[in-house]
Amino acid sequence: MAYYPSGCDENIQEHSCGGCGVELARVRRAAFINKTYYPTLIADAENVSVWNAGIASGAIIIIPETQGDYDGGAPQMGQGYGDSEETLNAYLFTAMIKDPNYAGNRNFYNSIKGSRNFHFAFASETILRISDEPVTIIPTNPIANDLKQEVVWDVQVKWTSDNFADEYDTPDVFTCYVP
C-alpha cells in the first residue's frame, strides 16, 4: 500500500455538516457485483437501468433482505519513518450478513465461496456502499441447538483497501430476481 510522508495533505476535502437527520444502521440489503461489470456500474451507480442490466446478465447478484453489520474498517498499520512510530497503510473491512433465504442456496454459496471476482454492495437505511476492491466471500450455515432459532446463511465478506466504500443513494433494485 501507499507510504504517506508528513506534509502531503494539501488536498483535504471540506467536512459536510447539517444533514437532515441521521442514517439508521443495519446492513439491510446486499449485492455481489462481478468485477468485470464493476466499471460499468460504478460509472453510474444510482442508475436503475444500469443495475437492472447487470442483474439480468447475471453480473449482479441481489440479496434483497439481510441483517448484519459492517465494522467500518480495521486499520492496517505499517512501519513508521522519521519521528512517526507507525504509518496507516490500509484498512481491512469486514461485513457480516445473514441471508434468510436458506433453502435452495447451497449451490449458490458453494459456487461463490472464497471467490475474489466480486465487489460487495450493501445498504443501511438509505445509503448504499460499494467496495472499491474485490472481496473474499466466506459463507457458513450453522444450526443452533434451539427450537426457536432460524436457520440462515451467515456470510462474512472481507476486503482490504486504502479507501472507505463509495456511497450512493440506494437504487430501487433490491427485490428477489427470478430469471
* Residue 23 reports pLDDT greater than 60: yes
DSSP E strands: which ranges in 100-161?
118-123, 127-130, 136-140, 153-161
For the segment 138-152, the average pLDDT, to the nearest whole number, is 95
State pLDDT tens for residues 64-75. 999 999 999 999
State pLDDT tens for residues 89-131. 999 999 999 999 999 999 999 999 988 999 999 999 889 999 9
Q: Are 136 and 157 in contact (CB under 8 A)?
A: yes
Helix (H) or strand (E) holding 42: helix 38-43
Count H helices and E strands in the chain, helices first: 3, 10
Set of cell numbers at residue 161: 483497501
The whole-number pLDDT of residue 129 equals 96
Interacting residues of 156 by C-beta distance below 8 A, sequence separation 6+:
94, 95, 96, 137, 138, 139, 140
Distance CA 45, CA 43 (A): 6
Distance CA 162, CA 156 (A): 20
State pLDDT tens for residues 27-41. 999 999 999 999 999
Residue of higher predicted confidence among 105 and 12: 105
* Residue 9 reports pLDDT greater than 80: no
The full set of domain ranges for the chain reads: 29-73+88-169
* Range in 18-32, 60-74, 154-168 with the lowest mean pLDDT: 18-32
